[in-house]
Amino acid sequence: MNEEVCRHSRFNAVDRIGVFASSACAAHCALSAFLPSALGALGLGVLLGHEAEWGFVLVAVAFAATALLLGWLRHRSGFVAAVLAIGIGGLLLARMMEEAGSSGAGTATGLLAGVVLVTGHLSNLRASRLASRMGQTSL
């Protein structure tokens, strides 16, 4: 039983870190759009670069994709999988929109996608807990 609890804790850590990564990504989008001079004044101007933005997106997408796969294997919730997939697609779309010059629409899309990913990770944690209580996990 302890091994099972430990294994589920490691899987849930992916979602917990994913919530943080998605929140950081959304906060970065908001700060970059609404307070770029504040980031520069704080010596964090490097966070305004395309490389940093792609870095935030790729980290958030990696955790979301991992959580989607592990969650599907644990509880097979189509809702959770769809929410995480929409969030992943939204973040990638937001970056492509910003690269194409639609920074306002890209920022709005990125903020929304970040919120969707946080919702997906929290839903994944909940679905995993429910499946574990009911003995329906396959991992």
Domain count, the chain: 1
Which pLDDT score is estimated for 93?
96
Residue 73 lies in a domain: yes
Contact 17, 59 (CB under 8 A): no
For residue 33, is pLDDT > 80? Answer: no
Residue 118 lies in a domain: yes
Residue 15 lies in a domain: yes
Tens-place pLDDT, residues 37-54: 666 677 766 666 678 888
Residue 139 lies in a domain: no
For residue 89, is pLDDT > 80? Answer: yes
Residue 88 lies in a domain: yes
127, containing H or E segment: helix 103-133
- Round the average pLDDT of the chain to a whole number and report it: 82
Tens-place pLDDT, residues 96-135: 998 898 878 988 898 899 999 999 999 999 998 888 888 7
> Which of 29-43, 56-70, 71-85 is the least confident region?
29-43
- Per the structure, the complete domain to which residue 42 belongs is given by 2-133
Residue 138 lies in a domain: no
Residue 58 lies in a domain: yes
* CATH number, domain containing residue 122: 1.20.120
